[in-house]
Amino acid sequence: MSTWIAVITASVIAFGLKLAGYTVPRARLEHPRVLRVTQVLPAALLASLVVLQTFSTGTHLVLDARAAGLGAAVVALLLRAPFIVVVIVAAATAALLRLGGFAS
Amino acid sequence: MTDDPTPPAGTPDPDDDVGAARRAVVRQGVSVAVATSLYGVSFGALSVAGGLSVAQTCALSLLLFSGGSQFALIGILGGGGTAGAAVAAASLLGVRNALYGLQLVPTMLPTGWRRFALAQLTIDESTAVAVSQSAPPLRRLGFWVTGLGVYAGWNLMTFLGALAGDALGDPQRYGLDAAASAAFVALLWPRLRARQPVAIAIVGAVVTTVLVPVIPQGLPVLAAALVGALIALWWPDRWRAGEAAG
């Protein structure tokens, strides 16, 4: 049930933020300090999510096939592969390593 | 740009050819929509792998409709984080959509019920296509084509991905957990074009690594956001000189 609450709450907030761009007075959102923070928040959040998703299980740091998948994803990005290819390359790398018994 | 009743035929200047310009915008919007929709499959599959139901997964794409926030929400919930932490991280990532609206107000001239559709479709892709057009009517066309195209495709592919994820079973066998890592790094990648976001990403990663074993699940990502915000506030102006906007 709490998953549904999270889904609905996050959706309501997301829509409120989108609508705010069209309704909140410009001065408030264009304040230099607000702009500074909002422009970089995605970089901090996404970097954190990369670490969480790749190197953590619960509250433990772990090194497993996901790390190899991430490495493959970075190589794909350096080669300018599209998003879907990056994702598939990472999944395939991790899956093959597990299949071969090289990583957990 | 108003519709010219007598377009000069065979003119070499493409600016005169309203039809060609509009077709080019539609092509661009559709190609962005198709590319974006394709990774809706990965969202659907990862969400189900993370423990959400097919209905919850589809509700996220229909209602939340912002890729980064959706991946964050399912990533934290799937990793065992609390609903509160998941909602907070997803919402922080959604703040940028408010800034997009701000940029689009003069172009889109929102009125009445349309502003609600406009708001819901205000995401990275629709904004990017809209602002890269030369004239307001083309920007509006680009916004609606891309926004509606992504909305339709993203939701359809989410549904298919969720069904596939449900059928596949153990997500680790197919490397779906690594696919989620890849999704986040691919979302991060285009933002790393200036010194400041790179520095903030590195600090965010380090803060997260240090805090994972120490504080409850879901909180490290919020700590990374907080530290990132503090760095942005105290970042010396002279370091910003000559940089592209982060």
Q: How many residues does chain A have?
A: 104
Give how many domains chain A has, as a whole number: 1
Give how many domains chain B has, as a whole number: 2
Decide if pLDDT at B141 tops 70: yes
Asked if the structure places residue B1 within a domain, the reply is no
Shared domain check, B79 and B118: yes
Query: What pLDDT is attached to residue B15?
Result: 54
Query: What pLDDT is attached to residue B16?
Result: 60
Asked if the structure places residue A104 within a domain, the reply is no
Best CA proximity match to B230, nearest among B195, B190, B193, B203: B203
Shared domain check, B244 and B219: yes
SS3 of B192, please? coil
Among A18, A46, A66, the residue with its CB nearest the CB of B68 is A46
Retrieve residue A91's tokens.
Answer: 């999944």
- Which domain covers residue A75, as residue numbers? 2-99
What is the rounded average pLDDT for all residues in chain A? 91
Shared domain check, B159 and B143: yes
Are A91 and B175 inside 8 Å of each other by CB? Answer: yes
What is the amino acid identity at position B119?
A: A
Shared domain check, B117 and B43: yes
Asked if the structure places residue A63 within a domain, the reply is yes
What is the rounded average pLDDT for all residues in chain B? 87
- Residues 33-52, chain B, touching A (beta carbon < 8 A): 35-36, 38-39, 41-42, 51-52
Among A18, A43, A86, the residue with its CB nearest the CB of B201 is A43
Tens of pLDDT, residues A24-48: 887 777 788 888 888 888 899 899 9
Decide if pLDDT at B2 tops 50: no
Q: Check CB contact of A6 with chain B, cutoff 8 Å.
A: yes
Asked if the structure places residue A38 within a domain, the reply is yes
Position A1 confidence tier, pLDDT thresholds 50, 70, 90: low
Query: What pLDDT is attached to residue B241?
Result: 52
Tens of pLDDT, residues B19-49: 999 999 998 899 889 888 888 888 999 999 9
Query: What pLDDT is attached to residue B3?
Result: 46
Last residue of a domain, one of B184, B208, B232: B184
If you average pLDDT over residues A43-64, what whole number do you get? 92
Q: Check CB contact of A83 with chain B, cutoff 8 Å.
A: yes
In this predicted model, which residue has the larger pLDDT, A93 or B131?
A: A93
Measured between beta carbons, the chain A residues lying within 8 angstroms of B110 are 22
Among B64, B181, B196, the residue with its CB nearest the CB of A70 is B181
Q: Check CB contact of B32 with chain A, cutoff 8 Å.
A: no
Shared domain check, B146 and B239: no
Asked if the structure places residue A68 within a domain, the reply is yes
- Tell me which of A38-42, B3-7, B112-116 is least confident: B3-7
Best CA proximity match to B224, nearest among B122, B83, B100, B76: B76
Asked if the structure places residue B139 within a domain, the reply is yes
Best CA proximity match to B166, nearest among B179, B181, B155, B176: B176
Measured between beta carbons, the chain A residues lying within 8 angstroms of B207 are 48
CA distance B25 to chain A (A): 21
Taking CA B49 as the corner, what is the angle to CA B45 and CA B54, rounded to the nearest 5 degrees? 65
Shared domain check, B219 and B143: no
Query: What pLDDT is attached to residue B72?
Result: 94
Retrieve residue B199's tokens.
Answer: 């520095």
Tens of pLDDT, residues B185-244: 998 999 899 999 999 999 999 999 999 999 887 789 989 999 999 999 988 877 765 454
- Residues 14-73, chain A, touching B (beta carbon < 8 A): 14-15, 17-24, 26, 29-30, 33, 35-61, 65-66, 68-70, 72-73
C-alpha–C-alpha distance, residues B11 and B112, integer Å = 40
Decide if pLDDT at B60 tops 50: yes
Residue with tokens 């991790």: A94
Q: Check CB contact of B172 with chain A, cutoff 8 Å.
A: yes
Asked if the structure places residue B241 within a domain, the reply is yes
CA distances, A7 to each of A95, A99, B60, B65, B94 (Å): 29, 34, 6, 11, 14
C-alpha–C-alpha distance, residues B246 and B193, integer Å = 7
- Tell me which of B74-78, B80-84, B171-175 is least confident: B171-175
C-alpha–C-alpha distance, residues B30 and B27, integer Å = 5
- Which domain covers residue B203, as residue numbers? 192-246
A17 Cβ contact partners less than 8 Å away, ≥ 6 residues apart: B91, B94, B95, B97, B98
CA distances, B90 to each of A12, A67, B122, B164, B174 (Å): 11, 24, 16, 24, 26
pTM: 0.79
Asked if the structure places residue B115 within a domain, the reply is yes
Asked if the structure places residue B11 within a domain, the reply is no
Measured between beta carbons, the chain A residues lying within 8 angstroms of B38 are 83-84
Are A13 and B94 inside 8 Å of each other by CB? Answer: yes
Please give the backbone phi and psi of residue A61, each rounded to the nearest 5 degrees, phi first. Answer: -85, 130
**Is this complex's ipTM strictly greater than 0.85?**
yes
Contact between A22 and B43 under an 8 Å Cβ cutoff? The reply is no
